[in-house]
Chain A
Amino acid sequence: MATKASRSAARIMMAPAVVLLLGWMLVPLIMTLWFSFTKYLPLRGDSIERGLDWVGIANYARFISSSSFWPAVQTTLIMVGGVLLITVVLGILLAMLLDQPMWGQGVVRILVIAPFFVMPTVSALVWKNMLMDPVNGIFAHLWRFFGAEPVAWLQDASLSSIIMIVSWQWLPFATLILLTAIQSLDSEQLEAAEMDGAPVIKRFWYIVLPHLARAITIVILIQTIFLLSIFAEIFVTTGGAFGTRTLTYLIFQRVIDSQNIGLGSAGGVYAIILANVVAIFLMRIVGKNLDA
């Protein structure tokens, strides 16, 4: 197989796929970078055919000096952090629960995974209209049943509500990965710890949790990538109002609502930087955890 001829043949045959993938990534990236340095307002008659005016870093300066920039970054980080915290903690608990032998295990496991199959738009709408509606929602009925004043979830606790919705969607993913990790734990290790005098909590802390470290890392990294770009859940619930405007949503508003493609592109580049900073930060923390 590893003759010179077969190796070059392999290279030639892989080339189209590599070129396609590179193009897929590089073209949008380069276009975004280009737009971010130009004045591009389609409603004012700017277009690529007529040529765009080079404005240097004006878009970057404007995007970052906007009063909505830092709150948007903050909202993004709170939302990602909140969802990660909820999904990892509940995921570990659910995984341990599902690992116990019980009747109807197969069905229960499928039910737990189910939310992951629901489209984000649909699940956000279901939460908004069926659960969180302050007049007809199930929560409102529940609150009234106990004699309490119904909460206008998406207005008064908007950020927490969206965190709740997104956590519900991502909990199955975390649970699934953590469950497979827990199942690979050697039961003799737990028994050895039991013989060594470790009560349940300490067995969890010293044996189960370190065993899960790697899986938790994977859950956190993958979820972070997807959570930084949450959009549908915000769009169909609050539309970015009540302090739920994330960086992604801000960029959307700049490009679509304000029809300022240059400014939005600059925001996109900031989002890339933010994602990388978060990723490096996470790698560092999690990497240390793996060594301990």
Chain B
Amino acid sequence: MGQIQLKQVTKSFGSTEVIPPLDLTIEDGEFTVFVGPSGCGKSTLLRLIAGLEDITTGHIEIDGQDATSVVPAKRGLAMVFQSYALYPHMSVRKNIAFPLRMAKLDQAAIDQKVEAAAAVLNLTDYLDRRPGQLSGGQRQRVAIGRAIVREPSAFLFDEPLSNLDAALRVGMRLEISELHERLKTTMVYVTHDQVEAMTMADKIVVLQAGVIEQVGTPLELYRTPRNIFVAGFIGSPKMNFLTGEEAAKHGAHTVGIRPEHIDVVESGGAWQGTVGVAEHLGSDTFFHIHNTGLAETLTVRAIGDVSLRHGDTIHLSPRVEEFHRFDAAGLRIA
């Protein structure tokens, strides 16, 4: 079990309101990702759920029970911190056993649970090492191990991959996703990286300045962003936004079109411009195009290696059905 419900939750530090009244339900077994630019309040929100910060007003319910004033240890949640927060003077075994020792389990039960967690996370060979002797990925796994042994009703992850290098991050992303498939426990995951959010989440919560901009599955957010912020935040490279004449043609204040929805054509095409920077990745080519008369730069994704270079003239054909239309307030026009 692990359903978490936030009801009219607010948080203020002194006189600054970080989170205005907010309602959110995280269903049991769901992998929910809080995503947003830095300073948007996503970590604060996670800490409110964990109980590490007191909420200013409102209620938090865990499995239908009011947990607003319950101390962190009694909420049945486990947290993985950005810095891993391993206890440096304890061996891996003692680190993982720590929550069990605090819960006063007998030694036999502790040993058995620690061994089981270590086996799941491939840490068996490292149990007697200190955290300082482990690599970043292994430390991450120890932190997850310490969370698993408690058998919490939900896991909270606070940007757990941001200290890892790019290759390791992709690997750990898969491991965490697999862990979720296996444990089927609720997970709440905070990140500023929209790729992590898109690849891991069952449900994404996009936050900006403490306000929930949109909640939905990754593809819902990709296909039907509710406003310009979400449209720009989800998807990589970023969506192109056009205003003025081009937008007026579609009866909107702003139109957005994703780089992958603009085709590069030999000749003709609705738009043309000069290639600025061309990023050749082999599988794709990203063009940054100037002098289109539409926007300062236009980003276009072409599949495969397209042999256009800096300064070349490029002909483009946007897919009309893929335009996103927004009104003057930045909201989506259905």
Contacts and interface: CB of A to CB of B under 8 A. Distances in A.
B27 to A, nearest CB: 22
A186 B83 contact: yes
A13 to B, nearest CB: 39
Interface stretch (B73-81, B208-216, B301-309): B73-81
> A interface, by DSSP: helix, strand, loop or mixed?
helix
Contact of B102 (A186, A191, A202): A202
A182 to B, nearest CB: 15
Given A207-B87, A210-B89, A193 B52 contact: no
A201 to B, nearest CB: 12
A194 B72 contact: yes
Given A191-B52, A192-B79, A197 B102 contact: yes
Interface string A109-132: 000000000000000000000000
Contacts of B88: 211
A202 B99 CA distance: 12
Interface string B103-124: 1000000000000000000000
B102 A195 contact: no
A196 B98 contact: yes
Interface string A55-96: 000000000000000000000000000000000000000000
Contacts of A213: 89
Contact of A188 (B85, B89, B99, B150): B85
- Of the listed residues A193, A197, A199, A206, the one surrounded by the most CB atoms of chain B closer than 10 A to its CB is A197
Given A195-B72, A196-B73, A189 B85 contact: yes
B153 to A, nearest CB: 13
Interface residues of B, number: 21
Nearest to B150: A196
A189 B52 contact: no
Contacts of A193: 87, 98
A41 interface: no
Given A186-B83, A206-B98, A195 B89 contact: no
Nearest to A292: B89
A243 to B, nearest CB: 41
Contacts of A195: 50, 52, 72-73, 77-79, 99
B82 interface: yes
Interface in A161-211: 186, 188-189, 191-199, 202, 206-207, 210-211
Interface in B46-88: 50, 52, 72-73, 77-79, 81-83, 85-88
Given A195-B79, A196-B150, 13 more contacts: A186-B85, A188-B83, A189-B86, A191-B52, A191-B81, A191-B85, A192-B79, A192-B87, A196-B98, A197-B103, A198-B73, A198-B98, A211-B89
6 contacts: A188-B82, A189-B85, A195-B78, A197-B73, A207-B87, A211-B88
Interface of B: 50, 52, 72-73, 77-79, 81-83, 85-89, 98-99, 102-103, 146, 150
